[in-house]
Amino acid sequence: MVSLTIDGQKVEVEDGSTVLQAAQKLDIHIPTLCNHKALLPYGACRVCLVEIEGSRGSWLETSCTFPAQEGLVVNTTSERVRKTRKIMVELLLARCPEVEAVKELAAELGIKDTRFPKKNEDCILCGLCVRICREKMNVGAINFVNRGTNKKIEPPYDKYSAICMACGACEVVCPANCVDLSKITTRKPRPIPSEFDEGLSSRPSIYVPFAQAVPNTPVIDKDTCVRLQTGACGACEAFCEADAIDFDQEDSIEEIDVGSIIVATGFRLFDSTQITRYGYGKFDNVLSAMEFERISHASGPTGGEIFTKDGRSPESVAILHCIGSRDENYQEYCSRVCCMYSLKFAHLVKEKTDAEVYNFYIDIRAFGKGYEEFYKRVLGEGVHFIRGKAAEVTDVPETPEEQGKLVVVAEDTLLGVTRRIPVDMVILSGALMPGADADDIGRVFSLGCGQGGFFIERHPKLAPVDSMSDGIFLAGACQGPKDIPDSVAQGAAAAAGALSLIDKGKVVIEPITAEINEDRCSGCQLCIANCPYAAIEYNEEKKISVVTEELCKGCGTCVAGCPSGAAHQKNFEDEQIFSEIEGILIGAES
Amino acid sequence: MAKPKVAFYWCASCGGCEETVVDLAEDILKVVDAVDIALWPVAIDTKLKNVQAWEPGEVTVAFINGAIRTSEQFEWVKLLREKCPLVIAFGSCAHIGGIPGLANDTTRDEIFANKYHRSPTVVNTDQITPQEQTTVDSYDLKLPKFWKDVKTLDQVIDVDYYLPGCPPPPDLIAAAVGAILEGKLPAKGAVLAPEKALCDTCPRNDTKPDELTITEFKRVATSTPDPEKCFLADGFLCMGPATRSGCGERCINGNMPCRGCFGPTPDAIDPGLKILAAVASRGEADNEDDAKTLADSLVDPVGTLYRFGLPASMLKRSVATERAQP
Amino acid sequence: MADQQFEPKIVGFLCRWCSYTGADLAGTSRMQYPSNLAGIRVMCSGRVDPTFVVKALKEGADGVLIAGCHPGDCHYSEGNYKAMRRHPMLVNLLEQFGVARQRVRLEWISASEGKRFAEVVTEFTEQIRALGPLNWNQRVQAECEMV
Amino acid sequence: MSKRITIDPITRLEGHGKIEIFLDDSGDVERAFFQVPELRGFETFCLGRPSEEMPRITPRICGVCPTAHHMASTKTLDDLWKVEPPPAAKKLRELVYSAFMIEDHYLHFFFLGGPDFVVGPTAPAAERNILGVIAKVGLEIAGKVIRVRRECRNIIETMAGKVIHPVFGLPGGVSRGIDEVQRQEFLKTAEFTIEFSKFALELFGDVVLKNPDYVDLVLNDAYAHQTNYMGLVDADNKANFYDGQVRVVNPSGDEIAKFAPQEYVDHIDEHVEPWSYITFPYLKKIGWKGFVDGPDSGVVRAAPLARCNAADGMATPLAQASYEYMYETLGGKPAHCTLAFHWARLVEAQYSAERMKELLEDPEITSDDFRNVPTETPSEGVGIVEAPRGTLVHHYRSDENGMLTMVNLIVATNFNSAPIAMSVEKAAKGMIKGGEVNDGLLNMVEMAFRAYDPCIACATHSLPGQMPLVARIRDSSGTVIREIRR
């Protein structure tokens, strides 16, 4: 460690630190344009000048490059420093009078205008782009060319770079926003679509999945991270003070023994491209409910502002209900939540824009607490409700006012007429569907799938959160379309169910387990492979098969499959079934 | 005390059961020391008279072999039942019907037609069929009535014990005789053989894989069984798992799968159905079509699953009416 | 009466998780289907011992329905596959005995398929009606000597 | 109405057997009938079965000669599936078959038919059985008899699983082989058996031939029949039991037919009578002439003596010698005296013993190559072997899947059914005169058919017990005036 004094304050920093870093440790602000945490000190902009006091007088140094030394005394605010820094900034201002970063700095230093002739360049020649390209990306696609006043940054020979991978790092670091990738390479940069924003916005390779994600920690998308793909970059490391970034981490599968399981695998939104006549995926402004949800959300890509794809505020918006629900060609069931979220959308559009809102509905199912009231309120807000399922969405105009609009065609079943409503935006309220992997999940937990493929509860009224297997519970939309309050309630109930088992510390097993009469079992072992629960074992020394009662679920398959009849099912004996048969068939044959 | 008297009688059988008693010949003197034979099966006296003359209980036990196919056999076993405190069904035929029981898969008319009219070597222009009563130049001749079906002994009279096997092995016979002499018989209705299925004593049981699966049922016509391997594991249907042990695994030693002559284990109500359920469960078929193919590879289910026990089976016999015509 | 139409007696072995629940659903949904089928609840179609089926036919049933979960949906993961493998072998055997193979039917009916349950029962009942009575014992007695 | 004697049942063949003897008013035999009152219908209930199971089903036709049926059936399958067994398989089959012939012939001679001679035809019934034989020849010899049978049956059991109802026969071979150790062990058996066969013939010589009464009995015309004779012969017309061609000679010993098994339908027909469940085979070329003997009769006899008559001799030295000696004694070939069947039986046993040794001396018999799996489409097959009691024919047809569509069986006792009927009638006529009927006489009548060794005749004498014979003499009103019971 070395200790030095900056503006009269003492500070200790590690060997090899720069004066700039030492100052930053003291929260002493030194302006800079070319410094970047992830890059080596460079000293190009010279804005970070400080005065070093030595025995034989003092001199100026760029703090970003000058090493901190024992006993060093530094002054960052001396008259000499301010004067020189002002001149530096004036020179920059003369070169690039329009660059924001420079203008801000000038303002900060109280510079009204530059005294030098203006050149109106856009690049401040800080070299961040050149350095990040070489130092971090190990590419070096661009560099300084020419000297003095002709100095500029370009790919070699001012030709498109063959090695540039269009990672866009240069763009990101440029303080003057003057990098234009299309001048460097023919490659098109591929933005990474944000899953959470339904692809409406892009995200970096290291990111937090969404606001309030739990846990709220960033993840690295290894398919797009330059570090993980090429071994270069790793810039993020330099910014993480906690030093929490570990590029060597591997995916790992954790096996956890548990006593009970709550299946809450949720739902998937109906894929509206299946119904081509609504033009989803064909017209820019036909949105799925989830896409609109993001657009209208404060944390969404537009910050909650409702725009059409081309950035206009819509004059009219149509909301189409029951897309894929209550439809014999798709899902027969009612998805239960669409009516209410459609009303919410209508409300939001009204609140945030001046657009007219048209709801195309079969009927409004406002069944929940306070829902009907909300429906009334939305009616009061002047939202139009047209009773009739939309027939199609088209961009073929029939009248001048339909020009350039999307036209929703529907039969108004109240007026008994077919209506064409021109709108700027169409929202499709799609059905809730079982997760794509519901079948596999069902198999894993031996859950039956019921209507529409949602998991079946043990009893619709008496055991709505229990599954057919003890210790496995259902919560949320995986069991059927559900809104948030219901999901929360069911989740809580499932948790309570799980707790009650943990609390007991023991489980009740079926009273109908199989049993093998050891005086009769010949040890043929045919039953063993028949048992899906590995509940039957071969006793080598007795030479017979034995049932482990705790594992037996009482399906009785081994009993039916026992050739010698040595296996039988307690309380579900063949004799019992025989008497049932006899009972049923009393007097069957005259 | 006088030696107990024993009666032997036979019905529709091949004589193998007598042969197996002849095999006792080696111990013949012992047997003769122990019991008096009041009636030897073949020695049915001309008329029922002298048996009818027996004091009830005078003859301790009647060993009856063969299935019941004629009115005459029926009369005889009824009489023996009256006279003897103990009646023992001797051998597969009396016990469960035996091979002659396969006749329950056809009809009396078919049997006559094939034997006397359709046979490639029979010349029978007048379409003669043997008659119960005929007169040949004034001599009237009788034949007993040939029944429509084959019955097990206990389907016509009350039976006390059963000695299984085709034929019953001498050691079991000796044991049974011993038990009678010492009065150490089990509860009435018992089968005088071990209760466990053949796998219990089968030398090949250890070769069974953990997860036995059957991809198709092989036929010995077109493949030869592995001399060491469990027949099921090798793909040949074996009745062993549903059949009583006690036979000495002699067929297995001859490298042929068990065909069930010892009859069902005590808990297998219908051994054919039980083995069917067992082997089908182990079939390698995950869709209806494969399952059908597997099932079809088991040719002649009745003749295979009920080789010895058709008359004793739940359905007793076949009735052609609904059979799909090929 | 001679002109009275023949009412088949059908025994159904219904798996407790899928088909029996499906039957319940048919009931709670007030669906109409013939009353000819009397259901017996078993834990799994894999529990259905062929002996049960034959017992039913012997006791005078004209048809037997075995119904379980769809393949892959078995509550006990694979019991219904056992049923699936036994069925063709059993009907092959029964056919050789002289029982039309259509008299023993295997169906997959899930807990949600109340409608399907009703359809299967209706359709099966008509099929058996067309086949006519089985009367196994009578037919056997006709072919056997009475003692 | 005439008087009637019923011997019912004598014993079963393929079922029961029954003799009806009708006396005229003078008490002489007017007419005797031999009836078989049972039938089990193998020809029918085997239909639709997989053909390869027949070797394990047909033995149940007869539990005394199951091996004969097993072997005939197995050979039929070779033909049906068009597959040739490897040499080792043929040897193994013939080995088992020879062992079977030996034990069966001795069973009959010492336990069944033999007692009539050894103890004496008119000896008290209670002694006329194996115990009587033991008493007469002594325990040590009895021990030998038992040992021969045990060891021969051991060979069968080792190879075929079960002695009663073997299982090892397959189309194109057998299900298992033997190793060197077993070969050596079996060789010992073979040698011992050869020794025994000499002894048995000596015994027959001492006890029977040295006793003029017996010789008279044997040569007695009451037991003689002029019929055709049939048997399998090898390429040199020597007798063979397992394989070869069927040769038929007429009463004067001239060959009148020689055919391969497949041609049997051109030579054999069966006659049906309404009063018996058994059919009566006869020579097709000659036709059915009724129950008559003589050169014109179509009746053909099978069984030991018939085989000796039909063959030119025995393929092994000792047996050949015994064969020649027998015919010398009987006054030349062919011999017609029914009772000589017993003698022929001993000669055949000797041949089988020698044959067994031959087979075992060939190391190839231990080869692992004992099965050729069929590759052809099965259609039709015929298999013929010589059962102890005569020629045995199996004939199957199948569909392309090998499932049986036709089964025809002609068992030895079939061939002999007409001769038996004739012998019985002739014997009755010769023995019963003037209503004079007694135990000894009836037994002699019975000996007439016992000589043919119709299957279950066995048990009759195997234990103390009595032949079920009652002669009831009725007057014309049909009421019994006298009853003789043994």
Q: What is the pLDDT of residue A493?
A: 96
pLDDT band at residue A578, thresholds of 50, 70 and 90?
Answer: very high
Positive/negative CA dihedral, C2, C3, C4, C5: positive
Here the tokens at position D50 are: 């997989």
| A183-187, C82-86, D470-474, range with the lowest pLDDT | D470-474
Q: Do B120 and D265 touch (CB under 8 A)?
A: yes
- Give CA separation, A173 vs A107, A166, A167, in Å: 22, 14, 12
Decide yes or no: CATH 1.10.10 for domain C10-142: no
Of B294, B301, B323, the CB nearest to C85: B294
Mean pLDDT value of segment C91-104: 96
Q: Tell me, what's the pLDDT at D121?
A: 63
Q: What residue type is assigned to position D249 of the chain?
A: V
D440 band by pLDDT with thresholds 50, 70 and 90: low
Give the residues across from C10 on adjacent strands: C37, C63
Whole-angstrom distance, CA of residue B133 vs CA of residue B141: 6
Confidence of residue C57 (pLDDT cuts 50, 70, 90): very high
Query: What are the boundaries of each domain within chain D?
Result: 3-38+431-485, 84-221+337-373
What's the gap in Å between the CA of A582 and the closest CA on chain C?
7
User: Per-residue pLDDT tens for C4-22?
Assistant: 789 999 999 999 988 998 9
pLDDT tops 70 at residue B173: yes
Q: How confident is the model at residue D5 (pLDDT cuts 50, 70, 90)?
A: low
**Is B148 in Cβ contact with C143 (below 8 Å)?**
yes
Q: Is B278 on the interface with C (CB under 8 A)?
A: no
* Predicted confidence (pLDDT) per residue in D140-179, tens digit: 777 888 889 889 999 999 999 998 999 999 999 999 999 9
Distance from CA of B29 to the nearest CA of C (A): 40
B319 and chain C in contact, CB less than 8 A: yes
| Residue A515 in contact with partner chain B when CB distance is under 8 A | no
Banded pLDDT at D15 (limits 50, 70, 90): very low
- Point out the least confidently predicted range of A466-470, B152-156, C34-38: A466-470
Residue D206 DSSP code: I
Does the beta carbon of B284 lie under 8 angstroms from any beta carbon of chain A? no
Full set of structural domains in chain A with CATH: 2-108 (3.10.20.740), 128-184 (3.30.70.20), 190-243 (no CATH), 269-433 (3.50.50.60), 434-504 (no CATH), 514-584 (3.30.70.20)
Question: What homologous superfamily does CATH list for D84-221+337-373?
Answer: Cytochrome-c3 Hydrogenase, chain B (1.10.645.10)
> Which chain B positions have a beta carbon within 8 Å of C101's beta carbon?
324
Query: What are the start-end ranges of the E strands in chain B?
Result: 5-10, 36-39, 61-65, 68-70, 86-90, 133-136, 139-142, 146-151, 161-163
Name the minimum distance, in Å, from the CA of B150 to any CA of chain D.
9
CB-based contact, A565 to chain C, within 8 Å:
no
Q: Tell me: pLDDT of D357 over 80.
A: yes
DSSP C22-47: HHHHHHHTT----TTEEEEEES-GGG
How confident is residue A121, by pLDDT bands cut at 50, 70 and 90? confident
pLDDT surpasses 90 at D132: no
- Return the closest-CA partner of residue A390 out of A325, A320, A285: A320
Tens digit of pLDDT for each residue in A7-16? 999 999 998 8
**How close does chain D come to B187, measured CA to CA in Å?**
30
What does the alpha-carbon distance between residue B85 and residue B158 come to, in Å, rounded to a whole number?
A: 11
Residue D221: what pLDDT?
67
pLDDT at D126 over 70: no
Q: Which residues are CB-contacts of D313 (< 8 A; sequence separation ≥ 6)?
A: D237, D238, D239, D320, D323, D324
Of the candidates B205, B213, B274, which has its C-beta nearest A563's C-beta? B274
Of residues D451 and D429, the one with the higher pLDDT is: D429
Compute chain C's Rg from CA coordinates: 16
Size of interface B-C (CB pairs under 8 A): 120
Tell me if chain A has a CB within 8 Å of the CB of B241: yes
User: Chain A contacts of C17, Cβ < 8 Å?
Assistant: 448, 468
Domains of chain B, earliest start first:
5-100+148-182 (3.40.50.700), 112-147 (no CATH), 198-314 (no CATH)
Q: Is the pLDDT of residue D112 over 70?
A: no
Q: What are phi and psi of C121, to 5 degrees?
A: -60, -45
Taking only the tens place, the pLDDT of each residue in D172-230 is 999 999 999 999 999 999 999 999 999 999 988 888 888 887 777 777 766 677 889 99
Please report the pLDDT score of residue D331 as a whole number. Answer: 83
Q: pLDDT per residue over A239-271, tens digit each? A: 898 899 999 988 899 999 988 899 999 999 999
The reported pLDDT for the residue numbered D50 is 96
Average pLDDT over residues A60-86: 91
Note the ipTM here: 0.87
Q: Decide if D275 and B116 are in contact by the 8 Å CB cutoff.
A: no
Coil, strand or helix: which one is A331? coil
Chain C residue numbers touching A559 (CB-CB < 8 A): 47, 49
Taking the C-alpha atoms of residue D129 and residue D111, their distance in angstroms, rounded to an integer, is 6
Buried (b) or exposed (e) across A190-205, using 16+ Cβ within 10 A?
A: eebebebbbebbebeb
Chain D contact for B259 (CB, 8 A cutoff): yes
Query: What is the mean predicted confidence (pLDDT) over D350-373?
Result: 95
Nearest to C85 among B274, B283, B317 (CB): B283
Please state, rounded to an integer, the average pLDDT across all residues of chain A.
91
> Does C have 3 or more CB contacts under 8 Å with A?
yes
Task: Give the nearest chain B residue to D60 (CA atoms).
Answer: B14
Cα separation, A456 vs D266, whole angstroms: 75
Checking if the pLDDT of D466 tops 50, the result is: no
**Could you tell me the residue ranges of all domains in chain C?**
10-142
Give the confidence band of D10 by pLDDT, cuts at 50, 70, 90. Answer: very low
For chain B, which chains pass the contact test of at least 3 CB pairs under 8 Å?
A: A, C, D
All partners of chain C with 3 or more CB pairs under 8 angstroms: A, B
Q: How many angstroms separate the CA of residue D218 from the nearest CA in chain B?
A: 26
pLDDT at position B31 is 67
Look at residues B193, B200, B203, B205 and name the one whose alpha carbon lies nearest to residue B246: B193
* Cβ contact C18–A530 (<8 Å): no
| Mean of the per-residue pLDDT values of chain B | 88
CA neighbor of A121 nearest in space, from A146, A134, A140, A102: A102
Who has greater pLDDT, A319 or D331? A319
Q: Which two tokens stand for residue A368?
A: 């929940």
Q: What is the pLDDT of residue D479?
A: 44
Interior angle at CA C58, CA C52 and CA C59, nearest 5: 90
Q: What are phi and psi of C102, to 5 degrees?
A: -70, -15
Question: How many CB atoms sit inside 10 A of residue D137's CB?
Answer: 19
Pairwise pLDDT comparison (D207 vs B117), residue with the higher score: B117
Q: Residue A22 pLDDT > 60, yes or no?
A: yes
Q: Which residue of D has its CA nearest to B223?
A: D373
Give the model confidence (pLDDT) of A306-350 as tens digits: 999 988 999 999 999 999 999 999 998 999 999 999 999 999 999
Report yes or no: A559 at the C interface, CB cutoff 8 Å. yes
Model confidence over A513-571: pLDDT tens digits? 999 999 999 999 999 989 988 899 999 999 999 999 988 989 999 999 999 999 999 99
DSSP states of chain C: --SSPP---EEEEEETTTHHHHHHHHHHTT----TTEEEEEES-GGG--HHHHHHHHHTT-SEEEEEEPPTT--TTSSHHHHHHHHHHHHHHHHHHHT--GGGEEEEE--TT-HHHHHHHHHHHHHHHHHH----HHHHHHHTS---
Report chain D's mean pLDDT, rounded to a whole number: 81
The residue that leads in pLDDT, B34 or A423, is: A423
CB B153 within 8 A of CB B95: yes
DSSP alpha helix (H) spans, A411-523? 438-444, 484-504
SS3 B122: strand
